[in-house]
Amino acid sequence: MARPVFVLRMQAEPGVEVIRSLRGWLKQGLCEFGLRCVSIEEVTKEDEMVDMRKYTSGLITPDEVRDGPIEARIISVYISEKHDVPVLELETGDQFFVWPQNGKKLARAYGYNSDDWIGHQIKLELGTYTDKDGNPKDTVNLTAVSSRDGNAGNGTPQRADPDKLPAPVKRGIEDDPDDTMPY
């Protein structure tokens, strides 16, 4: 079995002799804990990338799919505390509320365990429904695209390995999608 390798980023406090302190820290890690440094490099400001999905994404509403469907992979599933429904986080950083009708479609396609939904490709497109007063309303319909078993023999996309998907966008509790946006 391969030994795990960790990537660690650290920054010296002001006034610290960086190289001397780093060497001592690494030596102590090896001697006391058996942790050997296998690579090290200094990161410059140009090397730092900022994940902009948090600032360029949002809740998928009918307006988002009015010009055409969106296909994307599910990278995370969590429960909205405010609405008590699953929320899909897509590889684009966008989020989608899974109300019961779309939840049934996901459960039929991929099962009832939300971990089994991760890595699958879905299509979101404009749909309509009739409200209780008989008025037509826009909604977003979900279609499962990738197959449950991940077999792409029929030409459909394969399920992506969940370990190779981008990490979910880091959001605070204040970023929980709210109901001020229309559905």
Q: What is the pLDDT of residue 8?
A: 82
Residues 143/74, Cβ–Cβ less than 8 Å: no
Least confident residue range of 4-13, 108-117, 122-131, 134-143: 4-13
- Residue bearing the bigger pLDDT, 153 or 18: 18
Size of the chain, expressed as the number of residues it contains = 183
Q: 3-class DSSP state for residue 140?
A: strand
58 pLDDT tier (thresholds 50, 70, 90)? confident
Per-residue pLDDT tens over the stretch 77-102: 999 989 999 999 999 889 999 999 99
Mean pLDDT of 154-168: 67
Question: What is the reported pTM?
Answer: 0.59
What is the side-by-side strand order in the sheet with 136-144? 95-97, 86-90, 70-79, 121-130, 136-144
CA 62 – CA 108 distance, rounded (Å): 23
CA 174 – CA 86 distance, rounded (Å): 17
- Partnered with residue 123 across adjacent β-strands are 71, 143
Cβ count within 10 A of residue 107: 17
- Residue bearing the bigger pLDDT, 7 or 19: 19
